[in-house]
Amino acid sequence: NKPKVYITRKCPEDSIKRLKNIANIKMWTDELEPVPRDILLNEVKDVDAVLTTLSEDVDESFFSHANKLKVVGNLAVGYDNIDVKAAERHGITITNTPDVLTETTADLAFALMMAVARRIVEASDYVKKGQWKNWGPLLLAGKDLHHKTIGIVGMGRIGTALARRAKGFDMDILYHNRSRDEMAEKTLGAVYAPFEDVLEAADYVVCLTPLTAETKGLFDGKAFELMKQDAIFVNVSRGPVVDEQSLYKALVGGKIAGAGLDVFEKEPISSDHPLLSLDQVVALPHIGSSSMATRYKMIDLACWNIAKILEGKPAVTPVKSRE
Ligand code: GLV
Ligand code: GLV
C-alpha cells in the first residue's frame, strides 16, 4: 500500500522519478489553469504528501482538510504562500527549494538590470517593428552598469550571488540585510548600510528580500522618494514587498528612471495595469528560477523532500516558521 502524493501542477514525468516507485502519484494536468481551490481541498483529504507551487494558499483551511498529510513540498525557495505556524500546529513538515536556484535567479536579476539600463526590450521591438531607419548618435541611448553602485536589499544566497556578478562589472556594492554578511564584505567588498542609505546611494536598487509581515510594502512612496532620479529598481522577490501604485507614481513623476519586475502584487498581472504601459518598465512573468536545468533540479528537490518524509526520515530542506 503505497503512500499517496498529489502534485498541483503538471510536471514532466522524468522530473518526478524519485517519487514514482515509492508513491501513487496524482497530478493536476491542466497547463494553463492552476488547480481550483475546491478540487485541491478535496485531494488533500486523502493524501500523505502534496507538492505545491507558489500559486496555492497553504493555510489553516488547507491543513484542516487533511487527514493523513505529512509533508508539503513547495516548489520555490520562498514560502510566503504557506502558513508555516499552522503546519507546525498540525505536525506537517514544510520544505522549500533553496540553493539549487540561487545562481539562475541571480542571472535573471542581473539580466533585468541590464535590460532596463540598456533598453534591450524597447530596442528589440524597435527593430522588429521596422522602425530602424538609420544609425543615430543617441539612438536608444541607455545607462551604464559598470562602475555604478548596486544596492542589494536582502543579502541572502541570491543577493550574494548577485553581488559576485556586480563585482565582475566593477560595481560598488552596498547591501542591507537583517544580519551582516561578513563573507561578502571580505571577499566582494560589499558594504553594509541602513536601508535608507542604500536607497539614497544606489544607481541600481535590487529587491531580494523574502515577503514577511516586516517587508510587506517596504518599497513605498517614501522609499522611491529617497532614490536617485537616475535609479533603476529591480524586484525579483515577491510583488507585495512593493507598493505598485507608489512605484507607478515614482516612474511617471520622474522620481526614478526605470524598473525591472519579475514579480507583482497580483500574479498574473492584468495586461491593462498602468505599470505595463511604461517604456521604462521591463516586466517578466515570474521566471527568476526558470532555466530548464534549474526547474528540473527544483522539482527533484521537492520530490526528494517528500520521499524522505514518506520514508520516515528527516527532510532535506525543511523550513521553520519565522520568529
Ligand atoms: C520563486 O519565486 C521562488 O521563491 O523560488
Ligand atoms: C534565497 O535563497 C536567498 O537566500 O536569497
Q: CB of 77 closer than 6 A to ligand 1?
A: yes
Residue 243 belongs to domain with CATH number:
3.40.50.720
Query: In this structure, which residue's CA is closest to atom 1 in ligand 1?
Result: 76
Q: How far is the CA of 134 from the centre of ligand 2 (A)?
A: 44
Query: What is the per-residue pLDDT across 136-153, written as a single tens digit (0 to 9) for each?
Result: 999 999 999 999 999 999
32 and 137 within one domain:
no
Q: Which residues sit with their C-beta closer than 6 Å to ligand 2?
A: 77, 98, 102, 156-159, 208
**What's the pTM value of the predicted model, to 2 decimals?**
0.96
- Domain span holding position 47: 4-98+292-310
Residues 6+ apart with CB under 8 A from 233: 205, 206, 207, 219, 224, 227, 247, 256, 258, 259, 260
* Structural domain includes residue 323: no
275 and 136 within one domain:
yes
* Structural domain includes residue 318: no
* Structural domain includes residue 317: no
* Structural domain includes residue 243: yes
| ipTM field | 0.72
Q: What percent of the chain has pLDDT over 90?
A: 98
* Structural domain includes residue 319: no
Q: How far is the CA of 164 from the centre of ligand 2 (A)?
A: 14
Element (H, E) at 235: strand 232-235
Residues 6+ apart with CB under 8 A from 274: 248
- The pLDDT mean for the chain works out to 97
69 and 110 within one domain:
no
155 and 15 within one domain:
no
186 and 156 within one domain:
yes
Q: CB of 289 closer than 6 A to ligand 1?
A: yes
118 and 84 within one domain:
no
Q: CB of 236 closer than 6 A to ligand 1?
A: no
252 and 196 within one domain:
yes
Domains contained in the chain, number: 2
Average pLDDT over every residue of 189-217: 98
Active centre residues (catalytic): 238, 267, 286
Q: How far is the CA of 289 from the centre of ligand 1 (A)?
A: 7
136 and 48 within one domain:
no
Q: Give the DSSP letter of residue 7.
A: E
* Structural domain includes residue 239: yes
111 and 83 within one domain:
no
* Structural domain includes residue 320: no
* Structural domain includes residue 71: yes
Half-sphere exposure of 112 (CA within 13 A, CB side): 30
186 and 86 within one domain:
no
Ligand 2 atom nearest to 102, measured from its CA: 2
123 and 35 within one domain:
no
Q: Is 286 helix (H, G, I), strand (E, B) or coil?
A: coil
pLDDT at residue 322 tops 90: no
Average pLDDT over every residue of 226-252: 98
224 and 87 within one domain:
no
Query: What is the per-residue pLDDT across 102-118, written as a single tens digit (0 to 9) for each?
Result: 999 999 999 999 999 99
